[in-house]
């Protein structure tokens, strides 16, 4: 039995508790959170005793009761928490984004050098069955040589969080880091290429403008277009709108190559294959019978935890790395800089030349 601790028991922390407890051979045995209400929710969801409930993550780590931890604290705390976690030998899965900036991500990568446990980057959108099916179809050659990746997310506004930390860019890294790191990661996964240039246009036009926190108005974008050029000549685009509740699908992905097109729709769970030569289009429903807990992400978090647990038990390398997390944050940081300064941004500006 692999014993898990969950650091941060807000909405996503509770999601991870439910996912871990749905696994065979795993259980959440301890939680930590500085917020009393969140600790109460975490304790009840995990079904643990009071002595396994901690206010400070350092006390959870010092108790020595966990083989693995999941870091689900607010974005701006990831670097500090991960440095503490990586000073121990426990296995760790850290939720996206890795940090709020490239500088924070580099701190975490430095702390992870020589770490004995599995270190896993939580980018669970890779595991959504319709998206995983799209990646498999592209790998199988259904689009031919990939040229363009287009991702649309039209959804509801950011949900309330404890202390309303996600209302401000300084805490979240900004919308294009907090939300879109998933999609930049998917672009790189699909293209199997490195981003070299980013140009973006975005604004805060609708959401949260009437909210005030200690006299401050939230400053998080609610819509944007982002174009990413890759080192192999391919390009990607994100179309993000967070005041689009009247949408059939929250995510729509389209990968177009020289011989065909592969599309995926979430949560509709449909894979669409188009062939240029025949001018044909076929649709295929997608599901995954291995999902024991669907949760908030169509089973993606559960499937992510299956692989994380497998890596722990078998000593295999992580399928999603901290380097993946760094690059996803870096593209988001470049996109924000592009909007702020009204110009294309080279990735070397945020990553350095090495």
Query: 289 pLDDT exceeds 80?
Result: yes
Using pLDDT thresholds of 50, 70 and 90, give the confidence band for residue 297.
confident
Query: 354 pLDDT exceeds 70?
Result: no
Closest to 275 in 3D by CA, of 140, 159, 78, 86? 140
Mean pLDDT for the stretch of residues 265-276: 97
Query: 188 pLDDT exceeds 90?
Result: yes
The domain segmentation of the chain, as residue ranges, is 2-122, 126-306+326-351
**The two structure tokens encoding residue 136:** 């498999």
**The two structure tokens encoding residue 335:** 């996109």
> Considering the domain 2-122 in this protein, what is its CATH number?
3.40.50.720
Alpha carbon separation from 25 to 21, 124, 244, 305 (Å, rounded): 9, 21, 40, 12
pLDDT at position 37 = 96
pLDDT tens column, 79-131: 999 999 999 999 999 999 999 999 999 999 999 999 999 999 999 999 999 99
Report how far residue 315's alpha carbon sits from residue 317's, in angstroms, rounded to the nearest whole number: 7
- Cβ-in-10-Å burial (0-12, 13-18, 19+) of 314 comes to exposed
Between vectors from CA 55 to CA 54 and to CA 59, what angle results, nearest 5°? 55
Tell me whether the CATH fold assigned to 2-122 matches the one assigned to 126-306+326-351. no
Query: 8 pLDDT exceeds 90?
Result: yes
Class of domain 126-306+326-351: alpha beta
Query: 353 pLDDT exceeds 80?
Result: no
pLDDT tens column, 198-254: 999 999 999 999 999 999 999 999 999 999 999 999 999 999 999 999 999 999 999
pTM of structure: 0.96
pLDDT tens column, 23-60: 999 999 999 999 999 999 999 999 999 999 999 999 99
pLDDT tens column, 143-158: 999 999 999 999 999 9
């Amino acid at each position: 039995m692999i014993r898990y601790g969950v650091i941060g028991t807000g909405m996503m922390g509770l999601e991870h508790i439910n996912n871990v407890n749905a696994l065979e051979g795993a259980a959440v045995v301890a939680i930590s959170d500085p917020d009393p209400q969140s600790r109460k929710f975490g304790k009840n969801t995990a079904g643990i005793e009071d002595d396994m409930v901690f206010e400070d993550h350092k006390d959870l780590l010092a108790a020595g009761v966990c083989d693995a931890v999941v870091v689900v604290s607010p974005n701006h705390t990831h670097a500090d928490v991960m440095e503490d976690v990586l000073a121990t030998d426990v296995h760790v899965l850290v939720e996206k984004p890795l940090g709020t900036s490239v500088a924070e991500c580099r701190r975490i990568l430095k702390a992870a050098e020589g770490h004995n446990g599995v270190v896993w980057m939580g980018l669970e959108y890779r595991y959504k069955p319709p998206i995983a099916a799209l990646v498999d179809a592209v790998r199988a050659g259904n689009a031919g040589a990939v040229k363009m990746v287009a991702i649309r997310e039209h959804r509801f506004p950011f949900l309330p969080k404890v202390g309303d930390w996600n209302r401000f860019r300084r805490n979240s890294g900004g919308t294009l880091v907090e939300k879109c790191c998933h999609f930049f990661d998917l672009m790189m996964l699909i293209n199997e290429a490195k981003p070299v240039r980013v140009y973006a246009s975005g604004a805060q036009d609708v959401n949260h403008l009437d909210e005030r926190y200690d006299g401050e108005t939230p400053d998080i974008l609610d819509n944007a277009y982002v174009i990413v050029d890759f080192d192999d000549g391919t390009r990607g685009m994100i179309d993000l709108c967070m005041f689009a509740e009247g949408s059939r699908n929250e995510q729509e992905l389209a990968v177009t190559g020289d011989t065909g097109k592969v599309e995926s729709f979430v949560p509709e769970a449909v894979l669409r294959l188009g062939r240029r030569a025949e001018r044909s289009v076929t649709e295929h429903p997608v599901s995954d019978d291995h999902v024991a807990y669907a949760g908030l992400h169509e089973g993606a978090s559960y499937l992510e935890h299956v692989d994380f647990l497998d890596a722990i038990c078998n000593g295999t390398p992580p399928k999603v790395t901290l380097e993946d997390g760094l690059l996803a944050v870096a593209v988001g940081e470049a996109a924000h800089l592009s909007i702020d300064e009204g110009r294309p941004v080279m990735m070397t500006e945020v990553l350095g030349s090495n």
